Chain A
Amino acid sequence: MPLADPATLRWRGVGNAAASLVYAFLIAPSLIVIPLSFGTGRELVFPPRGFSLAFYAEYFHTSTWMMTTAQSLLVASCSTALACCLGFAAAYALIRCSFPGKRWVNVVLLSPVMVPAITVALGSYLYFSTIHLAPTPGLILAHAVHTTPFIMVTVMAGLRAVDSRLETAAIIMGAGWLTVLRRVILPLVRPALLAGAMFAFLISFDEVVIAYFVTDSATQTLPVKMYSSIQWEVSPVIAAISTLLTVLSLVVCVAGAGFAKPAAAG
C-alpha cells in the first residue's frame, strides 16, 4: 500500500463518502420494503403507520396468491432438477474431455444467459402454441434451458478443483462408472452443484418475462401475478410478498456463497 500522506487521506475520505452513498442507494429498496410490509391500512406510505401482520395474513389467505406461489414452486423445482442433470453432465464432458468444436459447444450452451429474455419469451410462446405444448411443461423446459448455464459454470469451477487422477484411481481399483460418479465425483462437487441449484431455483422462481408470455391465467406464476398487480393497483400485499422474496434471495445468496466457497478454496 502507498504510504498515507494528507492528500491521500483526503482523497480516501472523498472515496469513502461517495462509496457509502452508493451502498445506501443499493440497499435502499430492501430497507424500504421490509418495514412497509408490517404496516396497516390500504395506503402504502413510508414510514408505515402502525404495526401489523395484516398484509402477510392477506397473502396467505388469498387463494390466487397461494395458487400462483404453488405454481412458481412447482416450475422452479422441476426446472432446477432438470437443469442440474443437464448442467452437471455438460460440465463434466466439457472439463474432462477434449473434442473438436468444444469452444463452440461451450458458447452455444452458455448463450441462453446472454440472449434477451423477451426473444426467448416470444419464441417459446409462438413455438409452444404451434406444437400445442401446455404452459406448465413449456415453462419448465424454458426455465431449465435458461438456468442450465448457471449450473454449468458453478459445476465446472468445482470440477476444475477436483484432481481427475482420483477418478482414474477409482477405475483402476475396479469401480464402475456409476460407483465413480456416486462415490468420487458427486461428493467432491456437491457444494458447487448445490450452489448452482440454489441460484437456478431463485432465477426460475423470480423470472417474469418468459413466464408472462408462456403462461395463461390458470397457470400464471407468482412474479407474473405481481407484475400485473403492480401495473394496475399497487396492493399492500405486494409489500409482504416483496419482503418474503427478499428474505429468499438473502438465504440463497448467503447459502450459495457458503457452498461455493469450499469448492473454490479446494
Chain B
Amino acid sequence: MASALLGPVMLIMALAFLVPLGFILAYSVWDNGFTVHAITGLLASGLFVRVLRASCGISLTATAVSLALGYVVALHLARQPPQRRALLMILVLVPFWMSILVKSFAFTIILGNNGVVNAILVSLFGPGARLSLMFNRIGVIVALSHNLVPYVVFPVLASLLAQDTNLRRAAQLMGAGPARIFWRITLPLSLPGVIAAGLMTTVISMGSFVIPSLMGGRQDTMLANLVDYYTREALDWNAAAAVSVILLLLSLVLLALLARVRGGETVI
C-alpha cells in the first residue's frame, strides 16, 4: 500500500534519468536506421584509442596514488581515540565537500609556472630548478588524487575499525614486530576495503571531466573531454553518444565488481 509512495520517484527517475540514458544508447547506434558506424568508427580512430589509453593510464595511476595516501590517513585515524579521530576527520571531509572547481583553481596556483611549489624550488635551488607541473600528466594526477583520497579513507577506515584488536595483541604476545603485524594481519584484513576503494576511485576517475580539462595538456584528454569535443566542436552527436556508451559500460563493469566485493550490499 505505502509502496505507492515509490510512484513519483520512479516516474521522475524514468523521465529524467532512464530516458536520457536511452537517448545516448539510441544516438550511438541510430543514424537514419540502425548502424554500428559510430562505434566501429571510434574503435578505428587513432584519437579515440589514444584518449582511451590516456584515460586508463591516468585513472590507474591516480587510483594507486590515492590508495597509498588514503591508507596512510585511514591507518592513522583508526589508531586515534574517537574524539581526536572526529576532529581529524574534518581534514578529510573538507576536501570531500570542496567544489572541484575550487580545487582545480587552487592547484593552478600551487603547481603553476610561478606557483607556490616553483617559488619554493627557485628560492632554494635558483631559477634552474623550476619544474613543469601543470598542463601535463603530473598536474592531472596530483589534482585527481587529491579529489579521490576521501573516497579511499572512508571504506578503508571502516574495515580497519572492524578489525578485532585482540588479533594484533595476540600476534605481539607471540613475538611479532609491528611491521610483521601490519603485513600479516592489518593489511590482509583490510583488503576488502582497499579493493572496494580502488574500484570506486577507478570509476570516479574514469569519468572525470573538469580536472583533465583544467589541469592537463593535450595528451591528457580523457573520455569525458572527448564527449565534450565531439558535442561542441566536431558536432558529431553519434560519436559523442558512442563514447558515452563505452564509458558507461566500463563503469557498469567496475560497479558490478564493486557490488560483488561488498557482498550484495547496496553500492553507496
Contacts and interface: CB of A to CB of B under 8 A. Distances in A.
B2 interface: yes
B83 interface: no
Contact of A25 (B69, B88, B177, B227): B69
B109 A249 contact: no
Interface residues of A, number: 88
A87 B210 contact: no
A242 interface: yes
Given A89-B6, A112-B17, A117-B209, A18 B72 contact: yes
A257 interface: yes
B97 A116 contact: no
A178 interface: no
A122 interface: yes
B146 A89 contact: no
Most buried by A among B4, B181, B206, B227: B227
Contact of B105 (A8, A33, A117): A33
Interface string B84-126: 0000101111111111111111111110001110010000000
A26 B95 CA distance: 6
Given A32-B116, A113-B268, A120-B17, A92 B101 contact: no
B152 to A, nearest CB: 11
Contacts, number: 258
B67 to A, nearest CB: 12
A29 B107 contact: yes
Contact of A223 (B101, B115, B207): B101
Interface of B: 1-6, 8-10, 12-13, 15-17, 19-24, 27, 69, 72-73, 75-76, 79, 88, 90-110, 114-116, 119, 146, 149-150, 165, 168-169, 172, 177-179, 181-182, 203, 206-207, 209-210, 213-214, 223-224, 227-228, 231, 237, 240-241, 244-245, 247-248, 251, 255, 266-268
20 contacts: A7-B179, A26-B95, A33-B105, A44-B109, A89-B8, A93-B3, A94-B6, A109-B13, A118-B247, A120-B21, A122-B244, A123-B19, A126-B27, A141-B15, A141-B16, A209-B224, A226-B101, A238-B105, A245-B98, A253-B97
